[in-house]
Amino acid sequence: MKRETPSLANYLLPRLQDLIFVTIFYFVLRVGAGLFRDGDPGRHIISGQIILGTLTIPSKELFLYTAKDQLAPPYAWLAEVAYAAGYKALELSGVVLVAALVLAVTFTLIYHELIRRETPRLLAVPLTLWTAALTAIHWLARPHLFSFLFMALLVPRLARLAKGEKVPLWQFPLILLIWANTHTAFIFAFLIWAAFIAGNLCESIREKRSLDNGCAISNHNPILRKLLISAGLSFAATFVNPVGWRLWQLVLEHISSSYLANLISEYQSPNFHEISGWFFLITIVASIIVLSFSNKKHTAAETILLAAWTALGLYASRNIPLYAAVTVPLWAGHAMQFLDRIPALARVNHRIEAIEAQLRGRLWTILVTLVCIALLATGTKLDANRQGYSFNKVEYPVEAVDWIQSHPQDGNMFNYFPWGGYLIYRLWPRYQVFIDGQFFYGETLIRQHEEILNADPGWEDVIQQYDIRWMLVPADSTIAKVLQEDSGWLLLYQDQTADLFRLR
């Protein structure tokens, strides 16, 4: 049979996956200023710059005078290097560019997984965009964006392995090796493994294939054996990081702190009065409806994953993006049968699939990426407001820091913790901060921060303990109000965002 040669149009026309990539990529560039609505990117950029500059990975605290020389696990050093490289090339535009590429690749992978699971293209496109919208609550220029990407890489591979398909086992430890050096959410990978292993055991029991003992199961259940081997190798790979086993220790200590979980907003349960909560709720409802009415068999692992990730999403809103990346492909594949019941839509879908099968082009993905990089490099502002990317003046003490730079202050500072990363970005190494958003220095310092910020009894003792000479605090904070009436403190600078007080 003669093979048909693709025409030029086949190379020029974009495929749906190219459209997904381009849409997400360009959208992130448009809303890129929002990636800096958190102060932490500042710290990550500076950390990455230090690593790039010195070619060493510091494992001790450099930015907080209150935790000087304490162990500070470089849990995200690879992501920091990526952001710093972007920053070095194009300043904050480069950081946004890195984030846009990571997110665009992530959702292209999710789209691929939807298609692999036989989701009709007519649904796969809106579902991918819906998943992106669900994760958008946590689009910040921080290392966790890479976790979305690794999750999108890991879950399809594990799903294929669990189905008995051939997947090279070396891929798993490689993913985990990079992930463990990029972001702490790598520990969730083992939850995914646990679900697939438990699912496999459930299926074995259900099908009466389980044998008398664990050894026998491992011998006669090649899928389980592969799951266990891949998990074991990947677990070992996570120890290959600058601080070895202590990374696990610090991460587990961090996530088990109920004080932190109750203090930090992103660790709190979703608020269903807000639009982001609605997105989550609609997704839960859609997953239940689709799977309840589906005639297609779903595995025990899928059920466990869906239930476990729904619970994690309900527990902490920061888990919702990972919930989306893991669960949407699980149930989307069941939607084909519903589309088949509507012949007109099924016909449109088949037509799209037929056209897609002929297309060969990657042109649009490459072209749009290169054009955007070129535009940013020439100083073109691609954000929606055409103002360029920056930290928000209302949220961050941008003008106060300008003032500090022209009016240097001596002695230790006290700062509001969400501003820590931004202050490091602007003022390090001339100044070290009291606290920032990393929380690896333990609860005590955070409690002391809260004590001062709320002017709780004993706040003056903390001031004395750390020999604090000046404070940069939100204008509407309790401590700002107290200090204004305290003759021992002098208000040096004030704007709508921040007050700067100095001890007389």
Partner 1 sequence: MRITGTTNAPLTTNASLRQLFVIILFLALFSMALRPIADPDFWWHLRTGQVIFETRAIPHADPFSFTNEGKTWIAHEWLSEILLYGIYRIGGYGLLILTFAAIITATFLLVYLRSAERPYIAGFALLLGALATAPTWGVRPQMISYLLFALFLFLLDRYAETRKTKTLIPIPILMLLWVNLHAGYALGFAILGIYIAGNIFELIKAKIAKTGSTNSPILKNILTLCGILVLSILAALANPNGIRLLTYPFETLSSQAMQQNIQEWFSPDFHQIEWQPLAWLILALVGAGLLGRKSLSPTKIVLALVFGYMALRSMRHVPLFAIAAVPVLAEEIGCVVRIRPQVQRPNRLMKWVNLLLVMCTVLIAGLRFVSVSQEQVNTEKEEFPAAAVDWIIQHHPAGNIFNTYGWGGYLIWRLYPEYHVYIDGRADVYGDTFIADYLRIEGGEPGWEASLSLNGVRIVLIEPWSLLARDLRQSADWEIAYSDEQSILFIHKK
At its nearest, how many Å lie between partner 1 and the CB of residue 79?
A: 27
Measured CA to CA, the distance from residue 136 to residue 142 in angstroms comes to 13
Q: Which of 210, 310, 365, 415 binds partner 1 (CB under 8 A)?
A: 310
Residue 189 CA: distances (Å) to CA of 109, 170, 311: 17, 15, 16
Contact pattern for partner 1 over residues 424 through 463, marking x by CB under 8 A: -------------------------------x--------
Q: Which of 69, 207, 410, 485 binds partner 1 (CB under 8 A)?
A: 485
**302 lies in the binding site for partner 1 (CB under 8 A):** yes
DSSP, collapsed to helix, strand or coil, labels residue 471 as: strand
Contact pattern for partner 1 over residues 256 through 275, marking x by CB under 8 A: --x--xx----xxxxxxx--
At its nearest, how many Å lie between partner 1 and the CB of residue 414?
A: 20
Q: Burial level of 38, CB count in 10 A (0-12/13-18/19+)?
A: buried
Q: Count of residues binding partner 1 (CB under 8 A)?
A: 33
- Write phi, then psi, for 492 (nearest 5 degrees): -95, -35
Q: Burial level of 458, CB count in 10 A (0-12/13-18/19+)?
A: exposed
Q: Which stretch binds partner 1 (CB under 8 A): 9-17, 28-36, 303-311, 408-416?
A: 303-311
**311 lies in the binding site for partner 1 (CB under 8 A):** yes
**296 lies in the binding site for partner 1 (CB under 8 A):** no
Q: Within 179-218, which residues bind partner 1 (CB under 8 A)?
A: none
Paired with 415 in beta bridges are 472
At its nearest, how many Å lie between partner 1 and the CB of residue 447?
A: 16
Write down the residue that tokens 């669960």 correspond to.
327
Measured CA to CA, the distance from residue 248 to residue 216 in angstroms comes to 32
DSSP, collapsed to helix, strand or coil, labels residue 181 as: coil
> Closest by alpha carbon to 16, among 117, 98, 159, 127?
127
Token pair listed for 481: 């109000």
**252 lies in the binding site for partner 1 (CB under 8 A):** no
Alpha helices in 316-397 (DSSP H): 320-332, 336-340, 343-358, 363-377
At its nearest, how many Å lie between partner 1 and the CB of residue 315?
A: 5
**285 lies in the binding site for partner 1 (CB under 8 A):** yes
**481 lies in the binding site for partner 1 (CB under 8 A):** yes
Q: Which stretch binds partner 1 (CB under 8 A): 39-47, 54-62, 421-429, 481-489?
A: 481-489
Paired with 489 in beta bridges are 503
Applying CB under 8 A, the residues found at the interface with partner 1 are 258, 261-262, 267-273, 277, 281, 285, 288-289, 291-292, 298, 300, 302-304, 306-307, 310-311, 314-315, 455, 478, 481-482, 485
